[in-house]
Chains A and B, each alone.
Chain A
């Protein structure tokens, strides 16, 4: 197969905004995001052997970026371990949403046609805001799962937690996000108390 000429600096730069956004969602820190994207683009320039063609340039760059993000998260973990404050007890946060008999305190509401939110720019800001409200470690686990699509085994390793702990964090994250979206976006469609 004839080798495509390596991507130019300008071609790589076109993907910078996308990569920055991706990194920012993971790292929650603009300067760290800038750093990993810079490293990614440099690595792409230096090592073009992995380049499989222009149509896949973004996929290739994203693959490099994922590794850089994980390296960065490891560095952060070494330098400043994530705080385990009182807001980080995920079991308690989950318990708080249910009655002792296991019923929802507030039944999840019908969001109607939620996909319509995708057409609304304001929705994305709300989604990011809700994500930022999650406790740090919970958010970290959830982003590794939903955005980087790591397996729970990989997440356990990255965060040095047990599999069970990992499941609890991910569940906690989903419950937290849906609550926040319910409150900030889907309004008072819900909040109906379950008759007991």
Chain B
């Protein structure tokens, strides 16, 4: 199976915040993101959430 569903892609995008993805998974994810704006938005949202929580933690 080369094609990822959005559900799989979302899981991998989240997983990538725990540990680096393998090459094959990265490849499949890249293919999916090339054609899916929703998952691209999701990816940005996850990065934003991580940054927001770190800032919340480190704020005065």
Contact = CB atoms under 8 A, between A and B. Distances in A.
Contacts of B55: 118
B5 A111 contact: no
Interface in B1-57: 5-8, 10-11, 14-15, 17-19, 37-39, 41-42, 44-46, 48-57
Given A115-B48, A170-B17, A178-B49, A25 B41 contact: no
Contact of B15 (A94, A146, A167): A167
Interface residues of A, number: 40
B49 A102 contact: no
B57 A111 contact: no
Contacts, number: 92
A124 B8 CA distance: 30
B59 A124 contact: yes
B18 A117 contact: no
Interface of B: 5-8, 10-11, 14-15, 17-19, 37-39, 41-42, 44-46, 48-57, 59-60
Interface of A: 17-18, 21-22, 25, 94, 98, 101-104, 107-111, 114-115, 117-118, 123-124, 127-128, 131, 145-147, 151-152, 167, 170-171, 174-175, 177-178, 181-182, 194
A-B pairs, 3 with minimum CB distance: A102-B5, A107-B38, A171-B14
